[in-house]
Copies of this chain bind each other. A is one copy, B any other.
């Protein structure tokens, strides 16, 4: 069995034909074009896959998308793509490949599912996994009891909106002190600039942290502390075995993951939290595509 996996990110779209064993038979990726019509962009990226794997062989469609999204209505409104406000993505892909099941989940939910399926060889059969995407926002997704947990409205996993500091700065969500106000790329850059740093973006901040620039290191350590609070909260509620971290900011590597692992170990009070393993994604950009495929592949 082969299915089509689609990954709608904030800056690029990817699609792939994925076999039941997780092998990727064909893959395409195109950068986001803000002025293009969504339907045309989809046709272009899917067409590059079906040019190599005939559409007739694709028996289902799994989609991971940047949020917000409404999996019940089948619509997505990726924050960075104004042309896609409330875009009926499930219907659009169902139109390209009629008669197949189409399933939609968040990008971090798919990342968690992909890592669960193919990235965590030592996991138990009924383990509990959090996938966390640290990027322009902070997103999350769970695999619980061996299945993706999406929630009644599909919104499970909003780990970026856990309170890191009740007295913290206001969050666009309406609450205050959310993890995202400290640990997203733009939040880290904003804090570093307010403390004298003059670089351009999160990538430059990561390079400076690697080079030992104190304010940049501290920006990552602050983010890691907020992420550790979020991780330990999720672990206390869900008895987690594994946390897998991905996303553009997490790609900075040890400057984020080392202090994150240290803060988690330091603050894990309850005994059952001490088995928790926190690691970078082992599948990279494939995690989201594999997880999207797993939404429609038989388990």
Contacts and interface: CB of A to CB of B under 8 A. Distances in A.
A135 B159 CA distance: 27
Given A127-B152, A149-B145, A175 B269 contact: yes
Contact of A151 (B163, B229, B239): B239
A258 B171 CA distance: 25
A162 interface: yes
B229 A163 contact: yes
A165 interface: yes
Nearest to A236: B158
Contacts of A36: none
Contacts of A282: none
A98 interface: no
A89 B262 CA distance: 37
B237 A158 contact: yes
Interface string A236-275: 1111110000000000000000000000000111111001
Contacts of A157: 237
Q: Is the interface of A mostly helix, strand, loop or mixed?
A: loop
B269 A239 contact: no
A159 B267 contact: no
Nearest to A68: B271
A155 interface: yes
Interface in A212-232: 229, 232
B152 A128 contact: yes
Given A162-B233, A163-B233, A237-B162, A155 B272 contact: yes
Contacts of A127: 152
Q: Which of A127, A178, A239 has the most CB of B within 10 A?
A: A239
Interface string A135-160: 00000101011000111111111110
A15 to B, nearest CB: 27
A178 to B, nearest CB: 8
Interface of A: 68, 124, 126-128, 140, 142, 144-145, 149-159, 161-166, 171, 173-176, 178, 229, 232-234, 236-241, 267-272, 275
21 contacts: A128-B156, A142-B237, A145-B149, A151-B240, A152-B239, A153-B275, A155-B270, A156-B237, A156-B239, A158-B270, A163-B233, A165-B166, A171-B269, A173-B270, A174-B268, A174-B269, A175-B232, A175-B268, A233-B237, A234-B237, A237-B237
